[in-house]
Chain A
């Protein structure tokens, strides 16, 4: 529809296709599970290309950096990854959710 729309899940998937058409490597990240308070619901998506351009979100900005980092490796290897972020995780000390929730994020390459 109109180009002034904000990034919805719809636009994330359409953007993934567009970027690939431009010859970019593309990975998709999807929130597949949440526990406790988490800023984005299950099904939320983020698309990222090899130049770290991104659209959408899987949190309130807390873990996107780490997800993008993982996405780069998924783009190279083609192996999907299931990531977990949260207070119970050691990663949380570096890149965790300040809100105290836990999220699982699935990262896959667009083939």
Chain B
């Protein structure tokens, strides 16, 4: 791989642009496909470019068009996890999600909770959840988890998430709390089918007790949903 191509790849990745690196496995010649442009020392026909777009959309690396001489490495921007509620469980969930490769955004208008000291190195926003989530451009490569227990904060976030294509929505709270939450959202006009997208009580039933254990159950459920669902489309394809 030529250093110049690697630098271009790293730059595009840092700018969160979906891209693909194509390698001729016999010669090592390579091309970078990004922003609908090919660069590098490997030429490709227009028909191949369509296949590249499909590979990026499916977030799937592999041989191109069954031609085992050409390999495509897809590099999509990371999956995102929006955590509403800068609470104790969030403090354990955020580092775990970061380890699993998510770009995490924590939303909590309560400034005492959403502090950089409690959440070092994480994107924090103290906007009201509906405005914050609307501004994030939620897509199929996003998961949303509400953890505040407070309908004033959780409900608006859930309403925005339900109006988007996020691959996962989860809401913390007991069965009773969740039942009341569903009633409130139903009275806002959401259908039963729409509300079925919300995982509540959130997380796999592991018998989790501590904040860290609950975080494990949430991340485990998100992982399960991610891999059971069709591959989330890239931002480029969804847009």
Q: Tell me the A residues contacting B by CB distance below 8 Å.
A: 1-2, 4-6, 8-10, 13-14, 16-17, 20, 28, 30, 32-33, 41-43, 79-80, 82, 106, 108-111
Give me 5 other A-B pairs in contact (C-beta within 8 A), A16-B6, A79-B28, A110-B6 excluded: A5-B98, A33-B63, A42-B60, A108-B23, A109-B1
Residue from B7, B23, B28 having most chain A Cβ neighbours under 10 A: B28
Number of A-B contacts defined by CB within 8 Å: 63
Q: Are A17 and B2 in contact (CB under 8 A)?
A: no
| A1→B68 contact, CB < 8 A | no
**Known A1-B121, A106-B25; contact A43-B10, beta-carbon cutoff 8 A:** no
B164 adjacent to chain A (CB < 8 Å)? no
User: Separation in Å of the B154 CB from the closest CB of chain A?
Assistant: 27
Which residues of B (121-139) have their CB < 8 Å from a CB of A? 121
Partner-A contacts on B (CB < 8 A): 1-3, 6-7, 9-10, 13, 23, 25-28, 60-63, 68, 71, 73-75, 95, 98-99, 101, 103, 120-121
Contact B3 A17 (CB under 8 A): yes
Ordered nearest first, which 3 A-B pairs have the shortest CB separation?
Answer: A43-B61, A80-B28, A2-B121
Q: How far is the CA of A94 from the CA of B13 in the complex (A)?
A: 38
- The B interface is mostly helix, strand or loop, or mixed, namely mixed
How far, in angstroms, from A106 to B62 measured CA to CA in the complex? 12
Neighbouring A residues of B27 by C-beta, 8 Å: 80
Contact of A17 among B6, B60, B62 (CB under 8 A): B6
Contact yes or no, B28 A108, CB < 8 A: yes
Q: Could you show 14 A-B contacts with beta carbons less than 8 Å apart?
A: A5-B99, A13-B10, A13-B13, A17-B3, A20-B3, A30-B71, A32-B25, A32-B62, A43-B61, A43-B62, A80-B27, A108-B23, A110-B3, A111-B3
